[in-house]
Chain A
Amino acid sequence: MQNTKLLNYNYGNFFKYLLIILASLVCIYPLFWLITVSLKTQAQYLASKFSLPWPLYFQNFISAVDNEKFFLWFMNSGILTVGSVALCTIISLLAAYAIVFMSFRGKQIIMNSIISLMAVPIVVMIVPLYILFVRIHLMSTYPGVILIYSAVCIPFSIYLLTSFFKSLPGELLEAAIIDGCSNLKVLSKVIIPLSGPPVLTLIIVNALWVWNDLLIALVFLPRTDMRTLMVGLTVFKSKFNLDVPLTMAGLLIVSLPMIIIYIIFQRYFIRGLISGALKG
């Protein structure tokens, strides 16, 4: 009796480990494959698709970066990400502060409208914005695209910040007001210093989104020297279609910033994605 139970237990555990390890392997293999291929020569790759690379060949990384456009595209992605995230964070902090700590008419309607924007498909806005941007000469400009990216990130950011602000103890504000702080001072000296974790979450989730976006960059940044990395790599792929290892090296470099940020800030990432589950 005792023995069969123990046996069952071990069998069960064996299958659990088998399943979870299998799932992990399936998840990690394409990334592993990407790394191995990027370290091969074209000949090594053609000889075997899934052998380990030996001797290691680093030239692909050098060739990928050596592309004169690569640095430019990297800069573009960086500027757009930093600009959009900064603008979105400031605007969302101000709005969430007003929504949670001030009373005004139409609060519920404003809040509900902002939240429902989270589920509007981005592609629906492409046509009108395209025509508008052509008319007011915002195509292939940083400000134009930063405007779109920030707008797309704001609803989620306001949603996350308002739910955090609601959890803050009211006494803190009272003390600050008695000290004679102005509204803006309360925000900058009391609220923001307390909001480190949720703001960090926001910054990471939004940065990930902007950095990884393809659609908006593809439509609104048609000029070659204004491309982002994500658009660039689709071009890069068709240009070096036959040199798979070189393309793979490029892909790895493009994904690296976000992989590093993910590894460092995993906790914030996960928290943000759970609370902001709505965002596409």
Chain B
Amino acid sequence: MILRTKKFTPYIYLFPAILILGLIYGYSLVRVFDFSTRRIRGITGVFIGLDNYKFVISDPVFRKAVLNNINLFVLIPILVFLAIIISYLLFEQLRGWKVYRGVIFMPYILPIPVVGVIFGYMFTLHGVVNSFLKLVKLDFLAIDWLGSPKFALWTLMIIILWKELGFGIILFLARLMSLEKEIFESAEIDGAGWWGKLFYVTIPQMRTIIEFFAIITVINMLSWVFAYSYTVTLGGPGDATMVMELFIFNKLGRSQLPMPGIASAASVFLFSGTAVLIFFLFRIRKEIGQEET
């Protein structure tokens, strides 16, 4: 159903959205490229070509940040695996499954800064985690979770895993519930066991949503972990948990000399990385759309 309108009427309705998106997204995406080629002092600066990019690439802190962001990808297979198992268990509708679902999804609702601070205390050297490990005589596991550069990033991953798992579970559960019951029944008649059904029936049926979740998580690990790093470790110890977002944030000059040009060049790197992923996301989104119709 299409309304009959004057030629310019649709644009009046779209105008506020286009104005605000143009101002915030459009302006800044154009400007960030411009700023990345300038030595900014105050509100603008002289053109210096690719010098900012050269600086960023050779900066060991930025390299460490990129490496850390990429290391976070380790989480993706773990998240996918756990989300599949748990969503499948919920799907079987064990007694009280709605309660479990509500509980398991709870971490996703909590603000990241709150989660960061709670876990920051739980993982201190004499915190509740180490107290517990000592209680059950696992003293060798009672490490300095956040204070040691060797373990800090892994600890951060545990926190991210705890917080983000619920989202994968809800996503997968929704897909499972949209499947035809007969698929599972006929597999059962063919003598498939629990694992057989999981591997040969369920997972193939969930392929696109798994891909979708994996790509979203990749994008998040690249560009949405600032709040974890900032509230748990501030990027430390040293730059053990430095990530690209925090690097950009720091270069704005809260704690060091402001270098907006450098920050812009780093932003362009981050943007290019995600742009490639967005392309894949679009393709998968289309597939999901086709599956649903």
Chain A residues with CB under 8 Å of chain B are 12-13, 16-17, 19-21, 23-24, 26-28, 30-31, 33-34, 37, 48-50, 90-92, 94-95, 97-99, 101-104, 110, 114, 116-117, 119-132, 134-135, 147-148, 150-152, 154-155, 158, 170, 173-174, 177, 183, 186, 208, 211-212, 214-215, 218-219, 230, 233-234, 237, 244, 247-248, 251, 254-255, 258-259, 262, 266, 269-270, 273-274, 277-278, 280
* A273–B245 touching, CB < 8 Å: no
Of the candidates A95, A121, A254, A273, the one whose C-beta lies within 8 Å of that of B223 is A121
Q: How many interface contacts (CB-CB < 8 Å) are there between A and B?
A: 277
What are 27 pairs between A and B in contact, CB < 8 Å? A20-B94, A31-B107, A31-B110, A33-B118, A95-B17, A102-B9, A103-B2, A104-B10, A114-B21, A120-B271, A122-B223, A122-B224, A124-B267, A127-B32, A130-B260, A131-B31, A135-B43, A147-B24, A154-B17, A174-B1, A183-B3, A233-B117, A254-B114, A255-B110, A258-B110, A270-B174, A273-B167
CB neighbours (8 Å) of B3 from chain A are 101-102, 173, 177, 183, 186
CB neighbours (8 Å) of A90 from chain B are 16
CB neighbours (8 Å) of B100 from chain A are 20-21, 23-24
* B13–A254 touching, CB < 8 Å: no
Secondary structure at chain A's binding surface: helix, strand, loop or mixed? helix
Q: How distant is the Cα of A230 from the Cα of B216 in the complex, in angstroms?
A: 24
Q: How distant is the Cα of A95 from the Cα of B22 in the complex, in angstroms?
A: 14
CB neighbours (8 Å) of B11 from chain A are 98, 104
* A30–B13 touching, CB < 8 Å: no
Q: How distant is the Cα of A212 from the Cα of B162 in the complex, in angstroms?
A: 17
B147 within 8 A of A: no
CB neighbours (8 Å) of B99 from chain A are 24
* B227–A102 touching, CB < 8 Å: no
Leading 7 A-B pairs by shortest Cβ distance: A170-B1, A121-B223, A151-B24, A128-B31, A98-B13, A212-B111, A95-B17
Q: How distant is the Cα of A214 from the Cα of B114 in the complex, in angstroms?
A: 10
Within 8 A of A (CB), among B86-126: 86, 89-90, 92, 94, 97, 99-100, 102-115, 117-122, 126
CB neighbours (8 Å) of A123 from chain B are 223, 226, 244-245, 248-249, 267, 270
* A20–B281 touching, CB < 8 Å: no
Least CB distance from B271 to A in Å reads 5
CB neighbours (8 Å) of A218 from chain B are 230, 249
Q: In this complex, what residue of A is CB-closest to B247?
A: A123
